[in-house]
Structure 1
Amino acid sequence: MIVTTPDGGRDGMSSITAVNGSPAEDASPSPTSPRIGRRRWLQILSTFIVFMNTWGFLLTSGAFQAHYELFLIRDQSSSNIAWISTTSAFLVFAVGIVTGPLYDRGFYKPLLVAGSLLQVFGFMMLSISTEYYQLFLSQAICIGIGSGIVFTPSVSAAAACLPNPATRAKAMGLMACGSCVGGIVFPTMFRALVPRVGFPWTVRSIGFLILALYLLSYLVLIDGRRKTSRAPVIRRFFDISAFTDLPFMLLSVASVFSATAFYIPLLYLPLFTKVRVPSISPDLTIDLLSILNGVSVIGRLVAGLAAAIFGPTETIAVSLVAGSVLLFCWIPVDTVAGTIVSIHTFILPVSDRDRLPDRYLLVPL
């Protein structure tokens, strides 16, 4: 988030406040110091967990999509079912329109608590859902809004405590790896538990794990909090002047189109593979999600380094061009080995698209 310093300039942790639980910096590093102190590492850990619980679960949507189509709501079309996960992903970002200004007013921890409780409530309701509208309300609305309430303030807090641009870019890549970890853990849990305990208890188990991780995230923030006498910088709740900022609008529109292209392969990966490779086992179709998210760890870390060296705009431009070319190369693939190779080649360049460069640009400390 943009914070105004006493001298009227724009800076980061040199003037960031810690009112009502908002993150604060260590006293020793200078505003542009690349060193990361203990409190900053705690904030990075907290945001890593938030990435795991929010986008890590959303990257499991392919497993839920396949289960809904094949077992739970077979009377619904594939496109209707896809509205569940896509609406949830939309709300993660859309809710930030409200939670961003609330974070500026010092409500970081209340937002974290409210969002995590709503998200876990959504999992409990999802576990007892059997109809399409019930699945939509619990997964798309409750889990989506809950994730959005937590996500934007957490990313803003992490960016605020890392004023050095190069350090911030690297840390963003590291924190984004939390979604990769979640994208490995949750599909693996889904594949292992559904045959043994059924869909309801599988969803409850995921919900309980996410609740435990949120408790750890909150305790970390309590340990890393630091009091300050500075007053919070209060800005307008809705700034219409943003629509007159041409670079900002171009970036926003481009992000919409690139996100649309990026999530289609992730959402339909298990079903697409089952159609193109009928002999593949159901377990392996779910494991493909874990493989994809595991490989993306490399892409996110490399993207953080590249953004620090070459700049976020250059990094995301190259990744989108490479990803587009590789996506077309995926079309003729009809073997298990070819699918795994395509996953590796596609996700490596585009794994930064959904987390790093545009987030790095939109939080200009």
Structure 2
Amino acid sequence: MDPEKAAQTSHRHQPDNDTATTHSSYIAPEEPDYSSYAYPVPDKADSAAHDGTAAAFGNDLIPSVSNAVANAGGNAYAANHGINSNNNNNNNADGKGGGGGDFITRVPSAATTTAPAEEETYPEGGLRAWSVVLGSWLALFSALGIMNSIAVFQTYVATHQLQGYREGTIGWIFSVYTFLCFFGGIYIGPVFDRWGPRWLVLSGTVCLVIGVMLLSICTRRFSPSSPTRENTDKGHTVYWHFMLAFGILCGLGSSLVFTPSIAAVGHWFKRRRGFATGMASTGGSIGGIVFPLMMQALFPRLGWGWTIRAVGFICLALCGASNFLIRSRLPPPRNASPPPDPRIFRSAAFSLTTAGIFLMEFALFIPLTYISSYALSRGFSESFAFQILPILNAGSVLGRALPGWWADVAGPFNSNLAAVVVSVVACLAVWLPAGGSAAGVIVFAVLFGFASGNNISIAPVCVGRLCRTQHYGRYYSTTYTCVSVACLVGIPIGGELVTAAGGEYWGLIVFTGVVYVLAFAALLAAKIVCVGKNVFAVF
């Protein structure tokens, strides 16, 4: 039979859903028609190498800790986010899965169409495999632990070295940091695919440690004529010292460390990948608890310089050890992870999903950055202001542990939508009216931490639902290129809102809640495009 007719015949046998096919109408040059369901069976090389490609490229800042739905494109997500893809493959084989029988869950992934005898084998354990998990845990403790502690850095420098600067101006330091963490990972993936993690982790360790050590010598300068007023020229020197040390060096270093650290785990596990990656990813969560508490205890005793140096020495020891433990195993793929491709935005479902994730990440880092400053502004003690961040990070541990199970039951889009609703409630129904009390701030921190952990870990699998596994890298990179811009501008905008309100935070809180409402609308619209008006469909 003519291949074109075969594809058309296959298409006619899919469920009658006119709106659901719009997401796959994009046709890239010299690639198969995305709207066709007559997918060719990949050869052995493609199947064996694909998990490594996806593991390196589909990276997320804070990975999922347990199993989640991973159908069309889900195996690529699984390689990076700790998803056990076996259950997914079984579901897809009979046309039933997390998507409640919708057409996306019926599209077989590359792994499901490959004969079992040709599949790549994985150690699934052993000393070498678990040493990679340990190395990843050590690296993520440092890299993501610092990212989860940016509220402490922001609060301290805003009241000490950079006192007198606008909140929005200070926010640019941390927005550049988060931007590079996202944006850098997009292009580190192909390097990992080709050469493995060794030189990436080593160079990331050097950048991160040097950045932290330089951060420790960022000191406040005074004008000789006025000991209480910061000299303009020297003040700018201090500001750019922070920008170069933390924003650029620490941002690049963190990206170079955590991207290959997570990707390498996927080379050693498949059936137990969810458990293995979950164990590794807890390092970032624990780092986000340990670093703030450590800095709170050491700032009064040792001051800024030696406290930050202590953080640097911890990063040096842990990342240094990880260099001897993290290794890849799978051979380089024939096709490296592709760059972002704006032509995919012809798909309405993809455009709406990207918009929803953009808005989620835009809102996410505003509370993460300003929660400690908010506590100080409301008259809470400095110790409470620093302790609220570990409470938030503790809540996010559950938010990263439960999404896999919840997404298996309800679908990744539904899981994300529910978490966005919790974020809106946390901001507008808890933080705004009850943020003046310690109990209100703590309840907000727990709720928001839980919801944000869900959002971050499940968002990439939503992207994976919209494409074939072979094209997941392209879809992921395109989405998170846009998301990196949200990280770049969100924090400074939040700071400017505080300044515009005369130091009050109500504008920042309302703005964050409204952005989450818009994110909910975009994700819901994307779901409707895919499955129709049945908003309760499992998807």
Superposition TM-score tier, normalisation by shorter sequence:
0.7 to 0.9
1:288 partner amino acid: I
CA distance in structure 1 between the partners assigned to 2:187 and 2:411 by the alignment: 29
Match in the other structure for 1:26: none
Match in the other structure for 1:82: 171
Match in the other structure for 1:49: 138
Q: What is the CA distance between 1:195 and its match in structure 2?
A: 1.0
Compared with structure 1, are the counterparts of its residues 5 and 245 closer, same or farther at alpha carbon in structure 2 (3 Å cutoff)? Answer: farther
CA distance in structure 2 between the partners assigned to 1:362 and 1:43 by the alignment: 28
CA distance in structure 1 between the partners assigned to 2:415 and 2:384 by the alignment: 32
TM-score between the two structures when normalised by the length of structure 1: 0.83
Residue 134 of structure 1 aligns to a residue whose secondary structure is helix
CA distance in structure 1 between the partners assigned to 2:318 and 2:196 by the alignment: 20
Matched, 1:303 2:403: yes
CA distance in structure 1 between the partners assigned to 2:275 and 2:49 by the alignment: 16
CA distance in structure 2 between the partners assigned to 1:178 and 1:242 by the alignment: 37
Matched, 1:147 2:254: yes
CA distance in structure 2 between the partners assigned to 1:129 and 1:315 by the alignment: 42
2:298 partner amino acid: L
- 2:459 corresponds to which of 335, 358, 361: 358
Structure-to-structure mapping, 1:335-354, within 5 angstroms: 335-354=437-456
Match in the other structure for 2:29: none
Structure-to-structure mapping, 1:239-258, within 5 angstroms: 240=341, 243=344, 246=347, 248-258=350-360
Match in the other structure for 1:20: none
CA distance in structure 1 between the partners assigned to 2:257 and 2:42 by the alignment: 26
Structure 2 gap segments, 5+ residues each: 1-40, 55-78, 80-85, 87-115, 220-237, 471-539
TM-score between the two structures when normalised by the length of structure 2: 0.58
CA distance in structure 2 between the partners assigned to 1:160 and 1:193 by the alignment: 39
Structure-to-structure mapping, 1:106-255, within 5 angstroms: 106-130=195-219, 131-164=238-271, 167-169=272-274, 171-221=276-326, 230=331, 232-235=333-336, 238=339, 240=341, 243=344, 246=347, 248-255=350-357
Instruction: Using the aligned pairs only, state the percent identity.
Output: 28
- 1:169-205 Cα deviation digits (max 9, x unpaired): 5555444332210111110111111111110111111
CA distance in structure 1 between the partners assigned to 2:210 and 2:159 by the alignment: 25
Match in the other structure for 1:275: 377
Is the 8 Å Cα contact of residues 242 and 248 (structure 1) preserved in structure 2? Answer: no
CA distance in structure 2 between the partners assigned to 1:15 and 1:192 by the alignment: 42
Is the 8 Å Cα contact of residues 293 and 387 (structure 2) preserved in structure 1? Answer: yes
Q: What is the CA distance between 1:257 and its match in structure 2?
A: 1.2
CA distance in structure 2 between the partners assigned to 1:109 and 1:299 by the alignment: 31
Is the 8 Å Cα contact of residues 126 and 134 (structure 1) preserved in structure 2? Answer: yes
Structure 1 gap segments, 5+ residues each: 18-22, 24-28
Compared with structure 1, are the counterparts of its residues 236 and 170 closer, same or farther at alpha carbon in structure 2 (3 Å cutoff)? Answer: closer
Compared with structure 1, are the counterparts of its residues 302 and 134 closer, same or farther at alpha carbon in structure 2 (3 Å cutoff)? Answer: same
For the pair shown, which has the larger CA radius of gyration, 1 or 2? 2
2:339 partner amino acid: F
Match in the other structure for 2:365: 263
1:133 partner amino acid: W
2:243 partner amino acid: F
Is the 8 Å Cα contact of residues 51 and 176 (structure 1) preserved in structure 2? Answer: yes
CA distance in structure 2 between the partners assigned to 1:311 and 1:336 by the alignment: 35
1:256 partner amino acid: F
CA distance in structure 2 between the partners assigned to 1:135 and 1:233 by the alignment: 41
| Range moving further from structure 2, 320-329 or 243-252 | 243-252
- 1:61-115 Cα deviation digits (max 9, x unpaired): 1111111111111121111111111210110010123211111112321101101
Compared with structure 1, are the counterparts of its residues 54 and 300 closer, same or farther at alpha carbon in structure 2 (3 Å cutoff)? Answer: same
Residue 221 of structure 1 aligns to a residue whose secondary structure is coil
- 1:94 corresponds to which of 164, 170, 183: 183
Residue 98 of structure 1 aligns to a residue whose secondary structure is helix
Q: CA RMSD in A?
A: 3.2
Q: What is the CA distance between 1:245 and its match in structure 2?
A: 7.2
CA distance in structure 2 between the partners assigned to 1:180 and 1:250 by the alignment: 30
